Amino acid sequence: MSGSKSTEASIDHLGIAVRSIEQALGFYRDQLGLAVGPRETVVQEKVNVAMLPLEESRIELLEPTEEDSPVGKFLAKRGEGLHHVALKVPDLEAAVARLKNSGARLLNEPRAGAGGHLYVFVHPNSAGGVLLELIQG
């Protein structure tokens, strides 16, 4: 909105499910020339993560460490591709409270994820068909 304070949400990253981060980097790093930032394993989500920083956001490559992980199940059902959209919000606690009060379905309580950021996932049924991740900004 014009003239509003910058307390609104912004796109933090796009999560892309891949079978192999190394193979995906052949495209994103080698062909597109994107830099590769931090890489880590998020144990509770059973996923390896590679961050590719962009100007104001990032691409997050997600490789399952186990077939029964959320990303592993996604790949089995849909194949590689866009997994989720992550928004950075200025007050995660307030956003979660608003969502709960409105009846939105959350997939987890806020917890630490990649990079130590607090996050919560909103079920696609509550977010117009998109798996939405909210991250404390």
Residue 81 to residue 84: CA distance in whole angstroms: 9
> What are the structural domain ranges in the chain?
10-136
Mean predicted confidence (pLDDT) in 11-28? 97
Cβ–Cβ < 8 Å for 118, 44: no
Residue 106 to residue 125: CA distance in whole angstroms: 10
Provide the pLDDT confidence category of residue 3 given band limits of 50, 70 and 90. Answer: very low
pLDDT digits (tens, 9 = 90+) for 48-100: 999 999 999 999 999 999 999 999 999 999 999 999 999 999 999 999 999 99
Task: Give the CATH number of domain 10-136.
Answer: 3.10.180.10
Q: Is the alpha carbon torsion for 72, 96, 126, 136 positive or negative?
A: negative
Residue 17 to residue 64: CA distance in whole angstroms: 8
User: What type of residue sits at position 128?
Assistant: G
Residue 7, pLDDT score: 58
Q: What is the reported pTM?
A: 0.90
